Protein backbone atom coordinates (compact mmCIF):
# COMPACT_ATOMS: atom_id res chain seq x y z
CA UNK A 1 0.00 0.00 0.00
CA UNK A 2 1.23 3.53 -0.79
CA UNK A 3 1.73 6.10 1.98
CA UNK A 4 -1.08 8.62 2.42
CA UNK A 5 -2.00 11.36 4.85
CA UNK A 6 -5.20 11.30 6.88
CA UNK A 7 -7.57 14.10 7.89
CA UNK A 8 -10.79 14.01 9.88
CA UNK A 9 -12.76 17.25 9.36
CA UNK A 10 -15.83 18.12 11.41
CA UNK A 11 -17.75 20.14 8.78
CA UNK A 12 -18.59 19.71 5.08
CA UNK A 13 -16.92 23.00 4.06
CA UNK A 14 -13.71 21.94 5.78
CA UNK A 15 -13.72 18.53 4.06
CA UNK A 16 -14.13 20.16 0.65
CA UNK A 17 -11.34 22.67 1.37
CA UNK A 18 -8.97 19.83 2.24
CA UNK A 19 -9.58 18.01 -1.06
CA UNK A 20 -6.59 17.74 -3.43
CA UNK A 21 -6.56 16.02 -6.88
CA UNK A 22 -5.43 12.66 -5.46
CA UNK A 23 -7.54 12.76 -2.29
CA UNK A 24 -10.39 10.38 -1.56
CA UNK A 25 -13.27 10.87 0.86
CA UNK A 26 -13.75 7.81 3.05
CA UNK A 27 -16.75 6.81 5.16
CA UNK A 28 -17.40 3.08 5.75
CA UNK A 29 -14.49 2.15 3.48
CA UNK A 30 -16.16 -1.11 2.44
CA UNK A 31 -15.00 -0.71 -1.17
CA UNK A 32 -12.22 1.89 -1.07
CA UNK A 33 -10.03 -0.08 1.36
CA UNK A 34 -10.25 -3.18 -0.85
CA UNK A 35 -9.25 -1.08 -3.85
CA UNK A 36 -6.29 0.36 -1.95
CA UNK A 37 -5.13 -3.10 -0.87
CA UNK A 38 -5.30 -4.24 -4.49
CA UNK A 39 -3.31 -1.18 -5.59
CA UNK A 40 -6.17 -0.02 -7.80
CA UNK A 41 -6.75 3.18 -5.81
CA UNK A 42 -3.62 5.04 -4.64
CA UNK A 43 -4.82 8.18 -2.84
CA UNK A 44 -2.25 10.53 -1.35
CA UNK A 45 -4.78 11.74 1.23
CA UNK A 46 -7.79 10.13 2.90
CA UNK A 47 -10.40 12.56 4.14
CA UNK A 48 -12.43 10.74 6.77
CA UNK A 49 -15.95 12.17 6.56
CA UNK A 50 -17.49 10.11 9.35
CA UNK A 51 -17.61 13.11 11.74
CA UNK A 52 -19.62 15.30 9.32
CA UNK A 53 -23.22 16.05 10.35
CA UNK A 54 -24.79 13.96 7.56
CA UNK A 55 -26.58 11.22 9.49
CA UNK A 56 -30.16 12.51 9.53
CA UNK A 57 -33.29 11.12 7.85
CA UNK A 58 -35.99 13.77 7.70
CA UNK A 59 -39.18 14.57 5.84
CA UNK A 60 -38.90 17.35 3.25
CA UNK A 61 -41.33 20.26 2.89
CA UNK A 62 -42.70 18.50 -0.23
CA UNK A 63 -43.43 15.32 1.73
CA UNK A 64 -40.43 13.35 0.47
CA UNK A 65 -37.50 12.04 2.50
CA UNK A 66 -34.00 13.51 2.78
CA UNK A 67 -31.39 10.91 3.68
CA UNK A 68 -27.99 12.06 4.94
CA UNK A 69 -25.03 10.63 3.03
CA UNK A 70 -23.61 8.98 6.16
CA UNK A 71 -26.76 7.05 7.09
CA UNK A 72 -25.68 3.41 7.10
CA UNK A 73 -27.33 1.00 4.70
CA UNK A 74 -28.75 -0.92 7.69
CA UNK A 75 -30.23 2.16 9.36
CA UNK A 76 -31.77 3.21 6.06
CA UNK A 77 -33.28 -0.19 5.27
CA UNK A 78 -34.85 -0.52 8.74
CA UNK A 79 -35.96 3.10 9.16
CA UNK A 80 -39.75 3.12 9.84
CA UNK A 81 -40.45 5.78 7.19
CA UNK A 82 -38.50 3.84 4.56
CA UNK A 83 -40.10 0.52 5.44
CA UNK A 84 -43.55 2.10 5.36
CA UNK A 85 -43.30 4.44 2.38
CA UNK A 86 -40.45 3.06 0.27
CA UNK A 87 -40.44 -0.73 0.85
CA UNK A 88 -38.79 -1.16 -2.55
CA UNK A 89 -35.70 0.61 -1.19
CA UNK A 90 -35.63 -1.46 2.02
CA UNK A 91 -35.95 -4.67 0.02
CA UNK A 92 -33.15 -3.72 -2.39
CA UNK A 93 -30.72 -2.70 0.36
CA UNK A 94 -31.33 -5.91 2.30
CA UNK A 95 -30.66 -7.94 -0.86
CA UNK A 96 -27.12 -6.54 -0.96
CA UNK A 97 -23.86 -7.53 0.75
CA UNK A 98 -24.00 -8.92 4.31
CA UNK A 99 -25.35 -7.58 7.61
CA UNK A 100 -21.83 -6.57 8.70
CA UNK A 101 -21.16 -4.69 5.47
CA UNK A 102 -24.56 -2.99 5.56
CA UNK A 103 -23.75 -1.76 9.09
CA UNK A 104 -20.57 -0.09 7.82
CA UNK A 105 -21.55 1.03 4.31
CA UNK A 106 -22.98 4.53 3.91
CA UNK A 107 -25.69 5.84 1.61
CA UNK A 108 -23.25 8.09 -0.27
CA UNK A 109 -20.64 5.35 -0.49
CA UNK A 110 -23.14 2.91 -1.93
CA UNK A 111 -23.60 5.25 -4.91
CA UNK A 112 -19.84 5.41 -5.39
CA UNK A 113 -18.94 1.74 -5.17
CA UNK A 114 -16.99 0.60 -8.18
CA UNK A 115 -17.55 -2.31 -10.51
CA UNK A 116 -16.70 -5.82 -9.35
CA UNK A 117 -15.21 -6.78 -12.75
CA UNK A 118 -12.41 -9.24 -11.88
CA UNK A 119 -9.98 -7.59 -14.30
CA UNK A 120 -10.47 -4.19 -12.70
CA UNK A 121 -9.17 -5.61 -9.40
CA UNK A 122 -6.30 -7.59 -10.97
CA UNK A 123 -3.55 -5.11 -11.79
CA UNK A 124 -1.67 -7.74 -13.86
CA UNK A 125 -4.39 -7.63 -16.56
CA UNK A 126 -5.43 -4.89 -19.02
CA UNK A 127 -8.34 -2.72 -17.92
CA UNK A 128 -9.37 0.61 -19.44
CA UNK A 129 -11.21 1.59 -16.29
CA UNK A 130 -8.16 1.10 -14.06
CA UNK A 131 -5.59 2.21 -16.63
CA UNK A 132 -7.07 4.08 -19.62
CA UNK A 133 -5.77 2.82 -22.96
CA UNK A 134 -4.56 -0.56 -21.65
CA UNK A 135 -7.44 -2.58 -23.14
CA UNK A 136 -10.33 -4.57 -21.72
CA UNK A 137 -9.58 -8.03 -20.34
CA UNK A 138 -13.24 -8.89 -20.01
CA UNK A 139 -14.30 -8.55 -23.67
CA UNK A 140 -12.51 -11.74 -24.67
CA UNK A 141 -12.25 -13.14 -21.16
CA UNK A 142 -14.59 -14.15 -18.35
CA UNK A 143 -17.62 -11.95 -18.96
CA UNK A 144 -20.48 -13.90 -17.43
CA UNK A 145 -21.26 -11.06 -14.96
CA UNK A 146 -20.85 -8.26 -17.49
CA UNK A 147 -23.06 -5.83 -19.35
CA UNK A 148 -25.63 -6.55 -22.05
CA UNK A 149 -26.79 -2.94 -22.38
CA UNK A 150 -25.02 0.38 -22.81
CA UNK A 151 -21.53 -1.10 -23.06
CA UNK A 152 -18.78 0.34 -25.26
CA UNK A 153 -15.79 -1.09 -27.07
CA UNK A 154 -13.71 0.18 -24.14
CA UNK A 155 -15.59 -1.34 -21.21
CA UNK A 156 -18.39 -3.85 -20.57
CA UNK A 157 -18.49 -3.57 -16.76
CA UNK A 158 -21.68 -3.32 -14.71
CA UNK A 159 -22.57 -1.15 -11.75
CA UNK A 160 -22.79 -3.41 -8.69
CA UNK A 161 -25.24 -1.67 -6.33
CA UNK A 162 -28.71 -2.97 -5.42
CA UNK A 163 -29.68 0.19 -3.54
CA UNK A 164 -29.06 2.36 -6.60
CA UNK A 165 -31.44 0.32 -8.73
CA UNK A 166 -34.27 1.06 -6.31
CA UNK A 167 -33.21 4.72 -6.01
CA UNK A 168 -33.31 5.00 -9.81
CA UNK A 169 -36.79 3.49 -9.98
CA UNK A 170 -37.95 5.85 -7.23
CA UNK A 171 -36.63 8.93 -9.07
CA UNK A 172 -34.25 9.92 -6.27
CA UNK A 173 -32.13 13.06 -6.43
CA UNK A 174 -28.50 13.21 -5.28
CA UNK A 175 -27.41 16.34 -3.37
CA UNK A 176 -23.73 17.20 -3.75
CA UNK A 177 -21.47 19.99 -2.52
CA UNK A 178 -18.07 20.90 -3.92
CA UNK A 179 -15.60 23.72 -4.54
CA UNK A 180 -18.10 25.31 -6.99
CA UNK A 181 -21.04 25.12 -4.57
CA UNK A 182 -24.08 22.86 -4.27
CA UNK A 183 -25.77 20.86 -7.03
CA UNK A 184 -28.53 18.31 -7.38
CA UNK A 185 -28.29 15.43 -9.84
CA UNK A 186 -31.17 13.12 -10.73
CA UNK A 187 -30.25 9.46 -10.21
CA UNK A 188 -30.71 8.96 -13.96
CA UNK A 189 -27.86 11.43 -14.56
CA UNK A 190 -25.59 10.51 -11.68
CA UNK A 191 -23.90 7.39 -13.09
CA UNK A 192 -22.37 7.31 -16.59
CA UNK A 193 -22.20 4.81 -19.40
CA UNK A 194 -18.58 3.85 -20.15
CA UNK A 195 -18.31 5.36 -23.66
CA UNK A 196 -14.75 6.54 -24.38
CA UNK A 197 -14.05 7.20 -20.69
CA UNK A 198 -14.76 4.09 -18.64
CA UNK A 199 -12.42 5.40 -15.93
CA UNK A 200 -15.26 7.76 -14.95
CA UNK A 201 -18.14 6.04 -13.15
CA UNK A 202 -20.28 9.09 -12.47
CA UNK A 203 -20.75 12.80 -13.17
CA UNK A 204 -19.31 14.16 -9.94
CA UNK A 205 -16.77 16.95 -10.40
CA UNK A 206 -13.39 16.94 -8.63
CA UNK A 207 -13.80 17.43 -4.90
CA UNK A 208 -17.59 17.11 -4.89
CA UNK A 209 -19.02 15.30 -1.90
CA UNK A 210 -22.42 13.60 -1.76
CA UNK A 211 -24.29 15.17 1.16
CA UNK A 212 -27.75 13.59 0.84
CA UNK A 213 -30.14 11.58 -1.28
CA UNK A 214 -33.71 12.82 -1.64
CA UNK A 215 -36.72 10.63 -2.31
CA UNK A 216 -39.79 12.31 -3.82
CA UNK A 217 -43.19 12.06 -2.17
CA UNK A 218 -44.65 9.84 -4.91
CA UNK A 219 -46.32 6.81 -3.41
CA UNK A 220 -45.49 3.36 -4.78
CA UNK A 221 -45.63 1.76 -1.35
CA UNK A 222 -48.55 -0.58 -2.11
CA UNK A 223 -47.18 -2.28 -5.21
CA UNK A 224 -43.46 -2.77 -5.57
CA UNK A 225 -40.90 -5.56 -5.77
CA UNK A 226 -37.13 -5.94 -5.96
CA UNK A 227 -36.05 -9.19 -7.57
CA UNK A 228 -32.39 -10.16 -7.49
CA UNK A 229 -31.10 -13.16 -9.43
CA UNK A 230 -27.68 -14.26 -8.18
CA UNK A 231 -25.45 -17.30 -7.80
CA UNK A 232 -25.90 -17.62 -4.01
CA UNK A 233 -28.82 -16.78 -1.75
CA UNK A 234 -26.79 -14.09 0.04
CA UNK A 235 -23.60 -12.07 -0.25
CA UNK A 236 -23.45 -12.19 -4.04
CA UNK A 237 -23.76 -9.50 -6.68
CA UNK A 238 -26.71 -9.52 -9.05
CA UNK A 239 -26.53 -11.37 -12.33
CA UNK A 240 -29.74 -9.52 -13.08
CA UNK A 241 -31.93 -7.48 -10.75
CA UNK A 242 -35.21 -5.63 -11.25
CA UNK A 243 -36.83 -2.83 -9.27
CA UNK A 244 -40.50 -2.61 -10.23
CA UNK A 245 -43.25 -0.36 -8.87
CA UNK A 246 -46.82 0.14 -10.00
CA UNK A 247 -49.62 2.53 -9.14
CA UNK A 248 -53.20 1.53 -9.99
CA UNK A 249 -56.44 3.24 -10.86
CA UNK A 250 -58.84 0.39 -10.14
CA UNK A 251 -57.34 -2.53 -12.01
CA UNK A 252 -55.62 -0.32 -14.59
CA UNK A 253 -51.98 0.75 -14.28
CA UNK A 254 -51.84 4.51 -13.69
CA UNK A 255 -48.03 4.74 -13.62
CA UNK A 256 -45.05 2.39 -13.52
CA UNK A 257 -41.39 2.38 -12.61
CA UNK A 258 -38.88 -0.14 -13.83
CA UNK A 259 -35.11 -0.28 -13.40
CA UNK A 260 -32.65 -3.06 -14.17
CA UNK A 261 -29.44 -3.88 -12.31
CA UNK A 262 -26.53 -6.15 -13.17
CA UNK A 263 -26.86 -5.40 -16.88
CA UNK A 264 -25.18 -2.03 -17.48
CA UNK A 265 -22.66 0.52 -16.21
CA UNK A 266 -25.55 2.34 -14.50
CA UNK A 267 -29.09 1.51 -13.34
CA UNK A 268 -30.94 0.87 -16.60
CA UNK A 269 -34.26 2.62 -17.24
CA UNK A 270 -36.26 3.50 -20.32
CA UNK A 271 -39.23 5.87 -19.90
CA UNK A 272 -40.86 4.26 -22.94
CA UNK A 273 -41.01 0.88 -21.19
CA UNK A 274 -42.76 2.51 -18.24
CA UNK A 275 -45.12 4.51 -20.49
CA UNK A 276 -46.07 1.31 -22.32
CA UNK A 277 -47.56 -0.05 -19.09
CA UNK A 278 -49.80 2.96 -18.43
CA UNK A 279 -53.48 2.30 -19.07
CA UNK A 280 -52.93 -1.47 -19.29
CA UNK A 281 -54.18 -4.29 -17.10
CA UNK A 282 -51.46 -5.93 -15.04
CA UNK A 283 -51.04 -9.05 -17.12
CA UNK A 284 -48.24 -10.99 -18.73
CA UNK A 285 -48.70 -9.55 -22.20
CA UNK A 286 -48.30 -5.98 -20.89
CA UNK A 287 -45.25 -7.01 -18.84
CA UNK A 288 -43.72 -8.84 -21.83
CA UNK A 289 -44.14 -5.74 -23.99
CA UNK A 290 -42.45 -3.54 -21.35
CA UNK A 291 -39.58 -6.04 -21.09
CA UNK A 292 -39.11 -5.97 -24.88
CA UNK A 293 -38.75 -2.19 -24.80
CA UNK A 294 -36.43 -2.12 -21.79
CA UNK A 295 -34.16 -4.75 -23.33
CA UNK A 296 -34.14 -3.22 -26.80
CA UNK A 297 -30.60 -3.29 -28.20
CA UNK A 298 -29.27 -5.78 -25.64
CA UNK A 299 -26.13 -7.55 -26.87
CA UNK A 300 -24.20 -10.17 -24.93
CA UNK A 301 -20.69 -11.59 -25.10
CA UNK A 302 -19.29 -15.14 -25.03
CA UNK A 303 -20.46 -16.00 -21.51
CA UNK A 304 -23.39 -13.72 -20.73
CA UNK A 305 -25.88 -13.82 -23.62
CA UNK A 306 -28.13 -15.89 -21.32
CA UNK A 307 -28.69 -12.68 -19.32
CA UNK A 308 -30.92 -11.24 -22.04
CA UNK A 309 -33.55 -13.96 -21.64
CA UNK A 310 -32.99 -14.07 -17.88
CA UNK A 311 -33.60 -10.34 -17.65
CA UNK A 312 -36.78 -10.65 -19.71
CA UNK A 313 -38.18 -13.29 -17.35
CA UNK A 314 -37.03 -11.36 -14.26
CA UNK A 315 -38.80 -8.20 -15.47
CA UNK A 316 -42.06 -10.08 -15.99
CA UNK A 317 -41.80 -11.77 -12.59
CA UNK A 318 -40.90 -8.56 -10.73
CA UNK A 319 -43.84 -6.75 -12.33
CA UNK A 320 -46.15 -9.66 -11.47
CA UNK A 321 -44.90 -9.66 -7.85
CA UNK A 322 -45.32 -5.92 -7.75
CA UNK A 323 -48.93 -6.17 -8.96
CA UNK A 324 -49.67 -8.55 -6.08
CA UNK A 325 -48.46 -6.02 -3.50
CA UNK A 326 -45.29 -4.84 -1.76
CA UNK A 327 -43.09 -7.22 0.22
CA UNK A 328 -42.49 -5.86 3.73
FE1 LIG B 1 -11.84 -3.00 -17.14
FE2 LIG B 1 -14.31 -2.44 -17.86
FE3 LIG B 1 -12.95 -4.20 -19.25
FE4 LIG B 1 -13.69 -4.80 -16.76
S5 LIG B 1 -15.03 -4.47 -18.46
S6 LIG B 1 -11.69 -5.16 -17.73
S7 LIG B 1 -13.63 -2.79 -15.79
S8 LIG B 1 -12.44 -2.02 -19.03
For residue 264, being part of any structural domain is answered with yes
pTM of the shown model: 0.98
Residue 1 is predicted with a pLDDT of: 62
For residue 19, being part of any structural domain is answered with yes
For residue 133, being part of any structural domain is answered with no
For residue 17, being part of any structural domain is answered with yes
Tens digit of pLDDT for each residue in 135-171?
A: 999 999 999 999 999 999 999 999 999 999 999 999 9
Residue 23 has pLDDT above 70, yes or no: yes
**Looking at 13, 35, 50, which one is the last position of a domain?**
50
The mean pLDDT of 284-311, rounded to a whole number, is: 98
Ligand 1 atom with least separation from CA of 147: 5
Does ligand 1 have an atom closer than 6 angstroms to the CB of 129? yes
The domain containing residue 246 runs over which residues? 224-324
For residue 211, being part of any structural domain is answered with no
For residue 44, being part of any structural domain is answered with yes
Does ligand 1 have an atom closer than 6 angstroms to the CB of 157? yes
Tens digit of pLDDT for each residue in 197-243?
A: 999 999 999 999 999 999 999 999 999 999 999 999 889 999 999 99
Does ligand 1 have an atom closer than 6 angstroms to the CB of 143? no
Residue 326 is predicted with a pLDDT of: 77
Percent of the chain with pLDDT strictly greater than 90: 97
Confidence of residue 327 (pLDDT cuts 50, 70, 90): confident
Average predicted confidence (pLDDT) for the chain: 97
Number of structural domains the chain divides into: 2
Which residue's C-alpha comes closest to atom 2 of ligand 1? 155
Residue 141 is predicted with a pLDDT of: 97
Spacing, Cα 54 to ligand 1 middle (Å):
33
Spacing, Cα 157 to ligand 1 middle (Å):
5
Spacing, Cα 58 to ligand 1 middle (Å):
38
Q: What is the CATH number of the domain that holds 275?
A: 3.30.390.50
The mean pLDDT of 61-87, rounded to a whole number, is: 98
Which residue's C-alpha comes closest to atom 3 of ligand 1? 136
For residue 183, being part of any structural domain is answered with no
Tens digit of pLDDT for each residue in 117-135?
A: 999 999 999 999 999 999 9
The mean pLDDT of 24-50, rounded to a whole number, is: 97
- For the chain, the three-class secondary structure string (H helix, E strand, C coil) is CCCCEEECCCCHHHHHHHCCCCEEEECCCCCHHHHHHCCCCCCCEEEECCCCCCCCEEECCCCCEEEECCCEHHHHHCCHHHHHHCHHHHHHHHCCCCHHHHHHCEHHHHHHCCCCCHHHHCCCCCECCCCCCCCECCCCCCCCCCCCCCCECCECCCCCCCHHHHHHHCCCEEEEEECCEEEEEEHHHHECCCCCCCCCCECCCCCCEEEEEEECCCCCCCCEEEEEECCCCCCCCCCEEEEEEEEEECCEEEEEEEEEECCCCCCECCHHHHHCCCCCECCHHHHHHHHHHHCCCCCCCCCCCHHHHHHHHHHHHHHHHHHHCCCC
Amino acid sequence: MNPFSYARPQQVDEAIRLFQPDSRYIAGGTNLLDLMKENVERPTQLIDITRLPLRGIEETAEGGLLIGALVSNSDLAWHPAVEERYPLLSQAILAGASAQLRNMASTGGNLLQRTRCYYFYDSTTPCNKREPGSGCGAREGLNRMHAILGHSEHCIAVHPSDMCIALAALNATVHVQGPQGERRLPMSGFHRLPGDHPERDNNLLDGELITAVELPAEDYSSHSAYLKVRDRASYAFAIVSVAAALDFDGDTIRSARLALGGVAHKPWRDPQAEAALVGKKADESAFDAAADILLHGAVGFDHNTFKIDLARRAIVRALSDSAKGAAR
